[in-house]
Amino acid sequence: MTVFEYAPAPESRSVVDIRGSYGLFIDGEFTDGHGEPFKTINPADESVLADIACADEADVDRAVKAARAAYERVWGAMPGAERGKYLYRIARIIQERSRELAVLESIDNGKPIRESRDVDVPLVAAWFFYYAGWADKLGHAGFGPHPQPVGVAGQVIPWNFPLLMLAWKIAPALACGNTVVLKPAETTPLTALLFADICRQADLPPGVVNIITGAGDTGRALVAHPGIDKVAFTGSTDVGRQIARTLAGTSKKLTLELGGKAANIVYADAALDQAVEGIVNGIFFNQGHVCCAGSRLLVQESVAEEVLERLKARMATLRVGDPLDKNTDIGAINSAAQLDKIRELSASGEQEGADRWSPPCRLPDRGFWFAPTLFTGVAQSHRIAREEIFGPVLSVLTFRTPEEAVTKANNTPYGLSAGIWTEKGSQILWTAQHLRAGVVWANTFNKFDPASPFGGYKESGYGREGGRHGLEAYLNV
């Protein structure tokens, strides 16, 4: 037997130039923030990457005013075709600088370079390219002949897909004629700040895109600011609830893309090898830091043993480690706080009586790491079956009948996504019809496309991002 060990194949960091400190991008310029600056670190080795300015209320006000001025003077009145050309330019510059963006994303976030290179950054470019084309066709989008922009959008995004979530927010907003103030997550600000530079290279008029950095206080100040007409948030259900409360009684439009606890349903007649691949992709993609992750595996009892056997064998081939190694499948957990949360919930799984399993896997000494983990013997009542773990932890439950599968899948306050694996077409459609979830992947999982609407039912939020449906959030309809 030969041992085929892959030598490290690290992506070069030299394509990225990280500055020592970053200001706030307001009205086309980097300016000082007046809150307490903070540091962003590399979660793979805990090294400090840069000092980041923090926007206080006055800074937020400045950014909103800049966005308002740009909306009124330039962007809102600009013909759609011209706006579209700016967005096309941005899409092209993203493609030109894709290597740089991918490396920076992996350094700041901890995700494997394979994913930032092959998934995140190509989708970012695609998102701008797609919505660029809508800018001069809004009258044909089904929202009346002359739909108007909303005004200034305040957008708050999470750390799991920093640049991709920026694209999901900014591309449709700008295409519809709005200007934006966007706050990236405090642990992953760097690609958003690089995006500011891309806006400048594209000669985007000052104030159309403003990037302000900071933590929860900055976000709260932004969504509460009376000069904002629309709030778009992606993140936890708890924060989404707070934002909905903050906006109660105001005329601000709101879209929320929140948490999930997706069921991935594997029927006995599934294409098992692809199903196993889909299970792995569903929960271990991006370290499981995915709101739509297939975190509950519901497997039909007659094939449960076989599926678990194959799944464990497959999990043993997952490579955990340096995010910049092109062969890494699972990178670093984004932050110490998130690692604590994953550990706490996993411990609760054991305490509540589920069986925990991980493949043998050596984790680096420094940085935030968590081995891919499987829980079997999970009951619906266990916390690991109900709460969003947002990490590489899969809970396995079994079912006997399709009705039972659907009942268990829907038995959650969330309703973002779900998976179905079966070779029987009518069973796919029946199951898809009965699942209360906004995105259903059948015989695939974790696929995204700018032409495809994405968003949740129930406490997973409201509004859709992507496709024609994604325009509605940014138009006065």
Partner 1 sequence: MRVFGDAWGVSTETLIGAAELRAFLHGLPGVDQVGAEERAARLASRSIKTSAKAEAIDLAISMVDLTTLEGADTAGKVRALCAKAVHPDPSDPSVPKVAAVCVYPDMVETAVAALAGSGVGVASVATAFPSGRAPLEAKLADTRAAVAAGASEIDMVIDRGAFLSGDVVKVFEETVAVKQACGDAHLKVILETGELATLDNVRRASWLAMRAGADFIKTSTGKISPAATLPVTLVMLEAVRDYRAATGRQVGVKPAGGIRTTKDAIKYLVLVNETAGPDWLSPAWFRLGASSVLNDLLMQRRKLSTGVYSGPDYFTLD
Partner 2 sequence: MSDRLAVRKTYKLYIAGAFPRSESGRSYPVTDGKGRFVANAAHASRKDARDAVTAARKAFPGWAGRTGYNRAQILYRIAEMLEGRRDQFTAEVRHTGASKAQAAAEVDAAIDRWVWYAGWADKITAVAGAANPVAGPYFNFSTPEPTGVVAVIAPDSPLLGLVSVVAPAIVTGNTTVVVASEPAPLTAITLAEVLATSDLPAGVVNILTGHRTELTPWLASHMDVNAIDLTGVPDGDVPALEDKAAENLKRVFRASDDWAGDPGTARMTAFLEVKTVWHPVGV
Residues labelled as active-site residues = 257
Q: Which CB atom, from 167 or from 190, has the smaller least distance to partner 2?
A: 167
The separation between CA 257 and the C-alpha centre of its own chain, rounded to angstroms, equals 9
Q: How many CB atoms lie within 10 A of CB 74?
A: 17
Q: Decide: residue 154, CB within 10 A, 0-12 exposed, 13-18 middle, 19+ buried.
A: buried
> Who's near 215: CB < 8 A, 6+ residues apart?
38, 54, 186
Q: Which CB atom, from 4 or from 381, has the smaller least distance to partner 1?
A: 4
Q: From partner 2, partner 1, none, which one binds at residue 92 (CB under 5 to 8 Å depending on kind)?
A: none
Q: State phi, psi for 320 to the nearest 5 degrees.
A: -105, 135
In the list 249, 360, 365, 381, the residue contacting partner 2 (rule: CB under 8 A) is: 249
**In this chain, which stretch among 7-15, 167-175, 221-229, 361-369 interacts with partner 1, using CB under 8 A?**
7-15
Residue 469 touching partner 2 (CB under 8 A): yes
Q: Which CB atom, from 204 or from 324, has the smaller least distance to partner 1?
A: 324
Residue 464 touching partner 2 (CB under 8 A): yes
Q: From partner 1, partner 2, none, which one binds at residue 220 (CB under 5 to 8 Å depending on kind)?
A: none
Q: From partner 1, partner 2, none, which one binds at residue 142 (CB under 5 to 8 Å depending on kind)?
A: partner 2
Q: How many CB atoms lie within 10 A of CB 249?
A: 7
Q: From partner 1, partner 2, none, which one binds at residue 361 (CB under 5 to 8 Å depending on kind)?
A: none
Which tokens in the block code for residue 47?
């090294």
Q: Which CB atom, from 250 or from 443, has the smaller least distance to partner 1?
A: 443
Residue 131 touching partner 2 (CB under 8 A): no
The CA-based dihedral angle spanning residues 146, 468, 462, 391, taken in that order and rounded to the nearest 10 degrees: -150
In the list 458, 474, 475, 476, the residue contacting partner 2 (rule: CB under 8 A) is: 458
Residue 360 touching partner 1 (CB under 8 A): no
Size of interface with partner 1, in residues (CB under 8 A): 25
Q: From partner 2, partner 1, none, which one binds at residue 452 (CB under 5 to 8 Å depending on kind)?
A: partner 2
In the list 287, 369, 438, 474, the residue contacting partner 2 (rule: CB under 8 A) is: 438
Q: From partner 1, partner 2, none, which one binds at residue 203 (CB under 5 to 8 Å depending on kind)?
A: none
Specify the DSSP element, H or E, that contains 48.
Answer: strand 48-52
In the list 273, 340, 344, 350, the residue contacting partner 1 (rule: CB under 8 A) is: 273
Q: CA-CA distance, 384 to 357, in Å (whole number)?
A: 14
* Least distance between partner 1 and beta carbon 328 (Å): 10
Q: CA-CA distance, 424 to 398, in Å (whole number)?
A: 19
Q: Which CB atom, from 189 or from 260, has the smaller least distance to partner 2?
A: 260
Q: CA-CA distance, 153 to 257, in Å (whole number)?
A: 15
β-strands 209-211, 253-257 pairing: unpaired
* Least distance between partner 2 and beta carbon 464 (Å): 5
β-strands 230-234, 253-257 pairing: parallel
Q: How many CB atoms lie within 10 A of CB 317?
A: 9
Residue 323 touching partner 1 (CB under 8 A): no
In the list 63, 91, 194, 439, the residue contacting partner 2 (rule: CB under 8 A) is: 439
Q: CA-CA distance, 460 to 442, in Å (whole number)?
A: 20
* Least distance between partner 1 and beta carbon 313 (Å): 8
In the list 18, 74, 141, 272, the residue contacting partner 1 (rule: CB under 8 A) is: 272
Q: How many CB atoms lie within 10 A of CB 271?
A: 13
Cross-strand bridge partners of residue 370: none
Nearest by Cα to 367 from 331, 393, 403: 331
Q: Which CB atom, from 83 or from 253, has the smaller least distance to partner 2?
A: 253
> For residue 59, what are the CA distances in angstroms to 189, 199, 368?
17, 20, 32
Q: Decide: residue 233, CB within 10 A, 0-12 exposed, 13-18 middle, 19+ buried.
A: buried
Q: State phi, psi for 461 to the nearest 5 degrees.
A: 110, -175
Count how many Cα atoms sit within 13 Å of the Cα of residue 391 in the half-sphere of its side chain.
Answer: 27
**In this chain, which stretch among 36-44, 217-225, 268-276, 350-358 interacts with partner 1, using CB under 8 A?**
268-276
* Least distance between partner 1 and beta carbon 358 (Å): 18
Chain residues binding partner 1 by CB under 8 A are 1-9, 114, 118, 269-274, 277-278, 317, 326-327, 423, 443-444
Chain residues binding partner 2 by CB under 8 A are 126, 142, 237, 240-241, 244-245, 247-249, 256, 258, 413, 415, 428, 432, 435, 437-444, 447, 449, 451-455, 457-459, 461-462, 464, 467-469, 477
